[in-house]
Each structure stands twice: as structure tokens, then as C-alpha cells.
Structure 1
Amino acid sequence: MTVKAPPAGRRARRPAGGPPAVRRAALPALVGGLTVALVLSMVAAVGLGPVSIPVGDVAQVIGRRYLPGLVDTAPTGPQSVIILDIRLPRVLLGAAVGAGLAAVGTVLQAVLRNPLADPYLIGASSGASLGAVLVIIVGLTPFGTFSLPVAAFIGAMAAFLLVMLLAGGQGLLAPTRLILAGVAVAAFTEAVTQYLVLTSPDKEVRSAMFWMLGGLGGTRWSDIGVPMAVVTAGALWFWTQSGRLNALVLGEEGATSLGLEVDRLRRRLIVGCALVIGVVVAVSGGIGFVALMVPHAVRLVVGGDNRRVLPLAALTGGLLLVWVDVGARMLNRPDEIPIGVITAVLGAPFFLFLLRRAGHRRWQ
């Protein structure tokens, strides 16, 4: 079933957000431009770090590995190892994590009709943190080197299921109940996590805190396959539901009048968000503000139609996190800054800007 984008109420005469020329621009052109920017940024980001590598050398090394018929010569030795084995998987994971966070934030804000909605509101992020901290501090390694991401994913799913159980009163999944249940579960899991951190030896505390604030250090090729596949599949599926997301913004009565089974659709979308965020947080830790900031920034430029916002937000989120990760490894060399610290520094002023801009207007 295809649902047309709903009218914007009193503002229907002038679509909300962004210059008219940008709103009218063809979606393929916008997606293509952001894709090119993302690819170029990833190549540049691979060359940046405590040891800088010229962009030309990066392109040659990657080209020789993956396009051997087109590139015959490239640097070898330590530079090749840094590019292919250390930085390239890290940059690819950063792009996938950013895209996943932004896509989930877009969907949750529409489903819950709440401009502040992000992964913490469904309990997934805080549950993942608890699962990972248990592995770091207690030393449980039932899955070997994969114990931390597996534990984080299990924690995310367990917290999310508890939120769904608490919110599903009388068989319905009301947004208000879901938000309240998510806040309660997040507060409980964060309290347990903080207790574990405060009562642990210094070495484990540092590792746990760094993971809780998010980071991509130590990424291996084996870490990126599942997140990239899940984020790609999730973003594509969310986009197929973008017409229905537009209808959900109208509210229960408006969406029902268009023939939607609102509660069933809401459950499916939230489960999809939980799966994506569980996988993403399991490999990157708790990175805040991306899911909140990027969808709003995209809406300011292209308007509120989720058929445009979703793909553009995913690409913008990937682009943002690639450069945030560059800052994380460059600003305090040779040590790294947790990515969550940088996103908070960027996100808090942006959030205040949104509040000032919105005034007393309703979010759309």
C-alpha cells in the first residue's frame, strides 16, 4: 500500500524547511551528490591520523587491492598495512554506524511523533552499554573475541523487549507509554552500569567508560560485515515504509483514516529500529546526538517528507561520523577522544539552535 505524504496542516501552502530550490531538487541528484561526498570523504579520512598519508597514495593502495586491472602500482610496506588493515575498516564501520543511527532517529521521530526521539528512548542503547560493561568488568568471554559485541547486542534486545512488555498495555503500543517505559528502563540499566563502573578496578573502568562514550578504535575487517549488511537492509526497508511514516506524523486518527493498521505498523518499525541499533551499538558503543541531530538538520534543508529525509539522513549521518572519527583520532594525538564526546559538543549547540528556531511552533 502506498500512502502519499500528508499535508502539513496550516503550513501546507509552504512546505516546511529548506530553500525552495533544494526542496524541488530531484532526490537522485541529492543522493548522488551526498554519495560522492561520502566516498571522497572516506578516502581522505583513511589518510588522516597520527601518521598522515597522502590522499593519492590512499587511492592507489585501495585501487590496487580492489581494482587491480586499473591500478598497477601503489605504495607497499607499513603504509599499505595502515591503509588496508587499520584505517579502511574503521572508516567503513564509521560510515555504517552513522548511517544506521541517523536512519533510526528519523524513523523513531516519526513513529513516536516526538522530535526528541532517539535510540535511548527504546532502551536499546542503554541495554547494550550494560551488556558490554558486564563483559569488560566481569570478564565474561563465552564467545571469545566476539563476546563484547554479542553481549552488547543481547543487552540491547533484552532492554528493548522489557520496554515493549511494559508499554504494551491492553494490546496497544501508545507512543506515550513507550516513551515512559523507555525512560524508566534506560534509567535502571544506566544505574546498574554506573554501579558496575564505580566498583571496578581502574583499568576496567577506563575501558568501560571509553566504550560507553563510543569509539571505533581497533576495528577489524571481521567487525564490519554484519553491521554494514544490517544497516543497508534496514535503511532500504525503512525507505519502503516512508509513505506510511508520513501518515503516522498525522496521528492515530489521520493514519487510520488512510487505511493503516497503526499499532501493527508501529510495532514493526520499532522492532526494526531496535535490531539496527542493537547491531550498531554493539560494535561502536554509545554514540549520542547523531540520531537526534542529523534528521533535524536534513529536514531543515529538504522539508519533512520522509521519502526524501530517510536516504539523505542516512548518507549525512555516515558523512558526519566519518569526519567526527577523524577528529577523534587527530585532536589529541596520539591518544583518541571518545566519539561520543565530540558528537555531544556538536549536538548540544545544534539542539539549542533548534529550540530557539522552533519557538512555540509544533514539530512536524
Structure 2
Amino acid sequence: MTFTLNAALHARNFDVSLSLGPAETVAVLGPNGAGKSTLLGIIAGLIRPDSGHAVLGDKTLFNLDAGNSHCLPPHTRGTALLAQEPLLFPHMNVLENVAFGPRAAGANRASALQTARHWLAEVEASEFADRRPGQLSGGQAQRVAVARALATDPELLLLDEPMAALDIHAAPMLRRLLKRVLASRRAIIITHDVLDALMLADRAIVVEGGRITEAGPTRGVLEKPRSKFAAGLAGMNLLPGIITGRGLTSDGGLDITAHPEDGAVPGQDGVAVFSPTAVSVFLSAEHGSPRNSFAVTVTDLEPHGDQIRVHAGGLSADITPAASADLGLTPGMTVYFVIKATAIAVYPA
């Protein structure tokens, strides 16, 4: 049983096609306003697209193609949406919150409570059963929200940045929990965290401007990004351009010396990708064989672990605090970013 979606919403410039296998998790990455939450809203039935169709197993969620107007209401779709905030019912205790879904689906009270206790145990929250949501910490409430979503036995679990509102202590536990429960389920997770994507998702898609601009195995998307957003998420510099016999000519006119990977053809659209740790910063042009030296203007300096990240010319370099002090770096300065050819990967876009 698979899930397939093709949907367009003109008011939001949204047009996406997506499919999932029976036990597969897909991470949805992209900048704010790209259409990620719109995607989940359309699947869950909270947003009606202008056209398209979606099928979950043997159930047609909506079919709005060629004059059709079939559109299932949210509660009959077999999906469960877990948002950034737990959104627990404040007038119910934890056990009643988790039992609400099974009860709404027609289960008797005894069966619904049994299901609720099972999932509270699964998320290690049984001890909170008699508490009201106002008596829970953020991490505890989000674990209960996971149990409530899973208690409905959804065919497709939708997670909209479930770790975003958690502190650094609660997030790792929820991440481990989701890794365990998603192993045998179909899920879509929106995240801005590279660790969430790597730990939880089999595949990743990048959504920009309402379109999927990049897709593939999660590790492949992050290790060989082809979009600016994926490169930024992976902490890499990316320059798009045209592949040449000796490297790449960027869209900004930089001639980059590197060794295009096998299969890269001169004249083809491509990207040059390199780590900020591979960039050296100098006050004057440095030349060597083979090196790349670009004049750039410093726009910002920020702490990055035990390094200083230098932002300049749309690129980043990581250097030591001592090197930054020796260079006297300040925003507005012109410096030279120098990268060895062997540190740059060039491949088709």
C-alpha cells in the first residue's frame, strides 16, 4: 500500500507531487514560506487544493481533476497531524486526551482507554495519565501528543516540526522515541534540523517556492546538495553555474578550478560545493597550484562552535578566533577566500 499525491493551489503558487512506500518516512526541508505546512494541510484535509488527487492505500483522499469534486473530510482520511505545539485538551487528563481519538472513531470506552494506556507506555508517559496538560512540561506534553496521534492508528503520520518548541533536554528523547515508532510506519516530517532528517527519514525533499527542487535519499541530499537551502542546512557553501573542462563558471562569473566528478559534462548546469572549513582567509590575493582565490566583502562574523564563521560574498569560512583577531576582520572589509581545488566538489545540478 502506497501514498501518492499531486496537488496545486494557485493562491500559494503551490504545485507538488509526492509518493511514499508503506513503511517510509520522508523529511520535508525548505525555507519559511516555501509551502511545507501547506503540503501537510492539504494531505490532512485542512486545506482544499484547486486541482489534483491523492490516494492513501485503497482510499482516495481527494480527486479534483477533470471536473471531479471528491474530497474526504479530515476525520475520515486515516491521517494524524502532530504540530509544533501539543494542543492537548486542557479540560481532560492525559489518559482521556489519548483516548479521545479511538473514542471518536467509534471504540467503546474500555477499548479506547486500553489503547491509550498502551501508547502512553510506548512513549514512556504512563506516570502522567492522571495529570492535566497544564501540569506537564513541554517535553512531557509533546510525548503525550505523539501518543494521542498514534492511538488513532493512522495510515499516514504528519509531523510539523515536532521538536521546534522543545528545549535541548527534551528534544533528544522525543527524537529517539520517533525513530523507534516510525520504523514501521509511513510518515512525513517537516524539519529544519539536519539531525532530525538524518535520524528519522529515509528520503528527503526540498521545497522552495511551492515546488520540490531537490529529492533523494536523506544522506545523499545533505552530502551532495544541489540547492542553496540544502547546502545551508548541511553547512556547505554552494555556487551554481556551468560546468567547464577545468571546473565551473559560477552564475556570478567566478572561474572555479576543481575536478568535475565522473559524468559531469562541460556546458551542463552544475554546482560547486565546499565546506567552510576548507576556506582560508587572507588580506591579499593568494595564488598556488591549483588554488581558487576570490575577493569578497565581509558581511558578518559569528561564533560557530570553537571557530568564527566569516560570512562574505554569499559564502562562509570557518577560522580560529586567533586568526580572526590577527586579520582584524570587521564587516565591510574586503578579504580573499582561498580554497584548494581538491576541496571543491563539482557535479551536475
Using the size of structure 2 for normalisation, the TM-score is 0.24
Q: Which has the higher contact order (CA 8 A, sep 6+)?
A: 1
Q: Which structure carries more strand by proportion?
A: 2
Q: Which has the larger radius of gyration?
A: 2
Q: Which structure carries more helix by proportion?
A: 1
Using the size of structure 1 for normalisation, the TM-score is 0.23
